Amino acid sequence: MAGRAGPAARGRRLRERLHVVVLAGGAGERFWPRSRRARPKPFLEVVDGKTLLEATLVRARALTDASRIWIVCGAEHAGALRRHTGLPASRLLVEPRRRNTAMATGLAAARIASVDPEAVLVTLAADHRVPSASAFAKACLRAARAADRAGVLVTLGIRPTRPETGYGYIRVGPAAGPAFPGLHRVGRFVEKPEARTARRFLKQGGFLWNAGIFASKAKTLLEEIAGLAPELDAALARLRPRGARAFSAAALRAAYAAAPSLPIDVAVLERSRKVWTLPVSFRWSDVGTWASLAEELGVDARHNAVVAGEAILEQSSGNLVWGAGRPLVLFGVEGLAVVDAGDAVLVAQLARSADLRSVVAALALRGHRELL
């Protein structure tokens, strides 16, 4: 157990060195018209009146003290995030431009290591949904302990429940060893598969969904970046020129100007030989599309879901409805997202909601900047 005296014990208990990094980037175009540039997906109130971000912070607080929770976000959302979370400015890491998750994660690791060199990080996204906070906490702590003791990166692998083509997969490798029961080396990372491949993964077993949740010592992550991602490493080096203590705004801008735009998976995890995975079985969704939200809310061939507002559903099934002050009336329709945002109404086939970006592009072309 973390904190007990043992071969991997440090001077301080793990719990006191555990930091949670919440990545809150992303534009959220796939939830238009409910998500907008100024109000991206983490701010969606999808269930129980909580936003995805609020639910994420509840999970983070189950892992560690509120003083060790960090959020990485874009400048355009920093104000809203502070109001929404009450987080002090010092733990809001504001990116001067969007540079994907490798730089966001690297920034967090560098910043946290500067205040706590023995820090162990759990990195996760602000806009996923995990109904069971306790199962999540248990798995994250187990991953963090292994990462701490073995000096590895431990990514959570969700056991798939359907042949999902919207997620990347992790091929489970050999067991990590008797000291780490249940943990495995990563065989390889697999890009989002075709439907047939996804069905084979499910049938064959040994493949897990890559949820993008991983634990590592800050030090381990920075070492792996140094060894595997020299461009990213060089960008991070600019954060503290000539050993400066603070992270100045100018240094941050310089670092981001030099940063590559890569996901952390591509920049580090897929290349590293120190990546393990912890297979877990809790329910998880990246809530990536209206369709996956619908699924999360229990929409199926017989059931509709009404997120908010008043809906009158006649001879209709399999729809997700989100109203805004006036009744939405569905009659004889199936498999739709019907979303009223007050200033615009979307009627979309759920099955095609992964391509909703083309709608947002069409709005931009028509000059509807107020709706973006």
What residues make contact with a second copy under the rule CB under 8 A? 33, 312, 314-315, 326-333, 336, 338, 340, 342-349, 351-353, 355-356, 358-359, 362-363, 366, 368, 371
- Closest to a second copy by CB, 273 vs 368, is 368
- Closest to a second copy by CB, 12 vs 303, is 303
Q: Are 28 and 287 in contact (CB under 8 A)?
A: no
- Closest to a second copy by CB, 191 vs 355, is 355
The CB-of-31 to a second copy minimum distance in angstroms stands at: 13
The CB-of-194 to a second copy minimum distance in angstroms stands at: 20
The CB-of-341 to a second copy minimum distance in angstroms stands at: 9
The CB-of-371 to a second copy minimum distance in angstroms stands at: 7
Q: Tell me the C-alpha to C-alpha distance, in Å, between residue 320 and each of 25, 126, 146, 264, 350.
A: 25, 22, 41, 33, 8
- Closest to a second copy by CB, 246 vs 365, is 365
Q: Are 290 and 349 in contact (CB under 8 A)?
A: no
298: left (phi over 0), alpha (psi -120 to 50) or beta: left
- Closest to a second copy by CB, 104 vs 348, is 348
- Closest to a second copy by CB, 203 vs 366, is 366
Q: Are 82 and 71 in contact (CB under 8 A)?
A: no
- b (16+ CB within 10 A) / e for 356-371: beebbeebeeeeeeeb
Q: Report the candidate in 346, 365, 339 with the shortest Cα–Cα distance to residue 45.
A: 339
The CB-of-303 to a second copy minimum distance in angstroms stands at: 17
- Closest to a second copy by CB, 182 vs 327, is 327
The single residue listed with the structure tokens 């010092």 is 90
The CB-of-27 to a second copy minimum distance in angstroms stands at: 17
The CB-of-365 to a second copy minimum distance in angstroms stands at: 9
The CB-of-360 to a second copy minimum distance in angstroms stands at: 9
Q: One-letter amino acid identity for 45?
A: E
Q: Are 152 and 216 in contact (CB under 8 A)?
A: yes
Q: Are 14 and 116 in contact (CB under 8 A)?
A: no
- Closest to a second copy by CB, 116 vs 334, is 334
CA distance 311 to 327: 5
CA distance 105 to 216: 11
Q: Are 102 and 144 in contact (CB under 8 A)?
A: no
- Closest to a second copy by CB, 58 vs 312, is 312
- Closest to a second copy by CB, 269 vs 360, is 360
The CB-of-309 to a second copy minimum distance in angstroms stands at: 10
CA distance 80 to 115: 26
Q: Are 157 and 278 in contact (CB under 8 A)?
A: yes
Q: Tell me the C-alpha to C-alpha distance, in Å, between residue 294 and each of 121, 285, 299.
A: 32, 11, 5
CA distance 119 to 133: 22
The CB-of-297 to a second copy minimum distance in angstroms stands at: 18
